[in-house]
C-alpha cells in the first residue's frame, strides 16, 4: 500500500500505488466514461506493462503516445491530441492519465484543462523531476517556441500517484534534472536539508524516497498557502529566471544536446546566489560551497561573452517579470528566500561575466 499526503485539495499517494489507483478511479463521481493514458515511447515501453498488469480499471484504457523530448511540448502536439480525443468521442467524463516525466505531466494537464473546457486527469510521474515538482501543484503548460511554459493554466489533477520504482527505468543522467529541483528545495527551506542533500547518493533508492518525501512536503506546504503564485509560491522559482534562459539558449544552440530543466536550474542557482551575495549579504563562503558542489555534480554549459545579450533578451521575456523589471528570487541565507526582487541589465552582465570565468 502507499501512504497519502493530503495537504492539498487532491491526494498524493506515494509508494505501492496500484491498489489505491484502482480504488480512486472506481470511486470517482461522476463515473469515468473512458480512460486515456498519455505516454511517450519510453514510458510506453518501460512503465505501461506493469501499470496495466497491476490494475483492473486500466485494462481497456486507450494509449496516446507522443515522442519524448521538450520539443514535443507545443501547441501543434496538443492540437493533434485534442483532435484524437474528439474523433474518438471523448466526453466530459473522460479521464486522462499522464504517465511520464515533466513534459507529459505539464502538457497532459494543459490538454485536460482545455478539452471541452476541462476534463479530469491523474498524474503518474515517472521521472524524479516530475515526482518532486512538475506533477504536483496544479501548473499546466506548454512552451512557446523556446520560451518555457508561456502558455498554460492552473488546473488541479484528481490525484497524483508517485511510485519510486519507476525511477529504476531511468538512465542515471536523468536523475540530474530532478536533483536540480531538490537542490532548490533544500536551499529555500532549511540548512539541515542542504546538509542532507550534499550527502545524497543518486544510485541509492532508499535516498530517493527520502528526498521525494521532503521535497513534496515543502512544495505542498507552499502551494496550499498560495495556489496561484500571487506571493509565497514565487520562492519555488529560485534559480529559474537564469535557469530558463540557460535552458532556452541551449535549446536554440544545441537542440540535440540541450540542458535538462534541472541542470539549467542548478546553474541558475549559482547566478541567483551570486546576486544574493551582492544584494542581501548571503554568506560568501556558503555561496562558494554551493557553487563548487554544482560545478562538480551537474553538467555545465559553455556560456560565451557573445551569448550575454541573447541571455538578457531571454530573461526579459520571462513570465515572472513585473513592469518590465526582471524578477529573481534571492536568499539572505539558506532557508531565508526573498521574492519580488529585481535586477537590471548591468547586474546581469556582471553576473554572467563572473559565471563565464569560473
Query: Are both 143 and 259 inside the same structural domain?
Result: no
Query: Are both 211 and 139 inside the same structural domain?
Result: no
Condensed to tens digits (0 to 9), the pLDDT of residues 144-170 reads: 988 889 999 999 999 999 999 999 878
Burial class of residue 153, CB neighbours in 10 A (0-12, 13-18, 19+) = middle
Positive or negative: CA dihedral 76, 135, 24, 17:
positive
Query: Are both 129 and 248 inside the same structural domain?
Result: no
Condensed to tens digits (0 to 9), the pLDDT of residues 48-73 reads: 999 999 999 999 999 999 999 999 99
Q: What confidence tier does 175 reach under pLDDT thresholds 50, 70, 90?
A: confident
Angle at 88 between CA 85 and CA 89, to 5 degrees: 90
Cβ neighbour number for residue 39 with a 10 Å cutoff: 25
Average pLDDT value for residue range 81-96 = 98
Name the domain boundary from 150, 170, 190.
170
When divided into structural domains, the chain yields a total of: 2
- DSSP annotation of 215: H
Residue 3, pLDDT above cutoff 80: no
Angle at 72 between CA 172 and CA 112, to 5 degrees: 105
Residue 201, pLDDT above cutoff 70: no
Residue 203, pLDDT above cutoff 60: no
Query: Are both 201 and 299 inside the same structural domain?
Result: yes
The range of the structural domain enclosing residue 275 comes to 175-356
Condensed to tens digits (0 to 9), the pLDDT of residues 260-292 reads: 999 999 999 999 999 999 999 999 999 999 999
> What phi-psi label fits residue 148: left (phi over 0), alpha (psi between -120 and 50 degrees) or beta?
beta
Name the domain boundary from 120, 137, 170.
170
CATH number at residue 85: 3.40.50.1970
Q: What confidence tier does 2 reach under pLDDT thresholds 50, 70, 90?
A: low
Residues 6+ apart with CB under 8 A from 223: 8, 136, 137, 138, 233
Query: Are both 333 and 349 inside the same structural domain?
Result: yes
Query: Are both 225 and 158 inside the same structural domain?
Result: no
Average pLDDT value for residue range 95-123 = 98
Average pLDDT value for residue range 304-308 = 96
Residue 140, strand partner residues = 153
Query: Are both 107 and 24 inside the same structural domain?
Result: yes
Question: Residue 39 in contact with residue 98, Cβ under 8 Å?
Answer: no
C-alpha cell at 259: 540542458
| Full DSSP string of 186-197 | HHHH-HHHHHHH
Query: Are both 203 and 350 inside the same structural domain?
Result: yes
The percent of residues above 90 in pLDDT, for the chain, comes to 84
Strand ranges for 41-138 from DSSP E: 62-66, 95-100, 120-125
CATH number at residue 233: 1.20.1090.10
Angle at 318 between CA 315 and CA 321, to 5 degrees: 100
Residue 240, pLDDT above cutoff 80: yes
Name the domain boundary from 122, 148, 170.
170
Residue 204, pLDDT above cutoff 70: no
Amino acid at each position: 500500500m502507499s501512504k497519502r499526503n493530503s495537504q492539498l485539495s487532491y491526494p498524493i499517494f506515494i509508494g505501492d500505488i496500484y491498489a489505491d489507483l484502482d480504488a480512486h478511479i472506481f470511486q470517482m463521481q461522476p463515473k469515468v466514461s473512458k480512460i486515456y493514458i498519455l505516454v511517450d515511447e519510453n514510458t510506453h515501453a518501460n512503465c505501461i506493462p506493469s501499470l496495466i498488469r497491476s490494475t483492473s480499471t486500466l485494462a481497456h484504457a486507450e494509449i496516446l503516445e507522443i515522442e519524448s523530448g521538450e520539443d514535443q511540448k507545443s501547441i501543434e502536439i496538443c492540437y493533434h491530441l485534442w483532435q484524437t480525443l474528439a474523433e474518438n468521442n471523448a466526453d466530459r467524463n473522460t479521464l486522462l492519465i499522464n504517465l511520464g516525466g515533466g513534459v507529459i505531466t505539464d502538457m497532459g494537464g494543459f490538454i485536460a484543462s482545455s478539452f471541452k473546457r476541462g476534463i479530469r486527469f491523474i498524474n503518474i510521474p515517472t521521472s524524479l523531476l516530475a515526482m518532486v515538482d512538475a506533477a504536483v501543484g496544479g501548473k499546466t503548460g506548454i512552451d512557446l517556441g523556446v520560451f518555457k511554459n508561456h502558455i498554460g493554466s492552473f488546473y488541479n489533477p484528481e490525484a497524483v500517484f508517485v511510485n519510486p520504482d519507476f525511477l529504476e527505468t531511468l538512465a542515471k543522467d536523468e536523475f540530474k534534472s530532478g536533483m536540480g529541483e531538490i537542490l532548490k528545495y533544500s536551499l529555500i527551506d532549511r540548512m539541515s536539508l542542504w546538509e542532507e542533500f550534499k550527502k545524497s547518493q543518486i544510485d541509492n533508492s532508499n535516498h530517493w524516497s527520502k528526498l521525494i518525501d521532503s521535497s513534496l512536503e515543502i512544495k505542498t506546504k507552499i502551494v496550499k498557502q498560495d495556489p496561484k503564485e500571487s506571493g509565497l509560491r514565487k520562492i519555488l522559482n529560485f534559480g529559474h529566471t537564469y535557469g530558463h534562459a540557460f535552458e532556452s539558449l541551449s535549446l536554440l544552440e544545441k537542440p540535440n544536446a540541450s540542458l535538462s530543466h534541472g541542470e539549467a536550474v542548478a546553474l541558475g542557482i549559482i547566478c541567483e546566489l551570486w546576486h544574493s551575495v551582492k544584494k542581501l549579504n548571503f554568506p560568501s563562503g556558503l555561496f562558494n560551497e554551493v557553487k563548487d558542489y554544482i560545478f562538480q555534480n551537474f553538467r555545465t554549459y559553455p556560456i560565451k561573452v557573445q551569448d550575454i545579450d541573447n541571455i538578457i533578451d531571454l530573461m526579459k521575456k520571462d513570465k515572472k517579470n513585473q513592469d518590465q523589471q526582471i524578477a529573481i528570487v534571492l536568499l539572505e541565507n539558506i532557508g531565508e528566500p526573498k521574492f519580488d526582487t529585481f535586477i537590471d541589465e548591468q547586474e546581469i552582465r556582471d553576473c554572467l561575466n563572473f559565471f563565464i570565468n569560473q
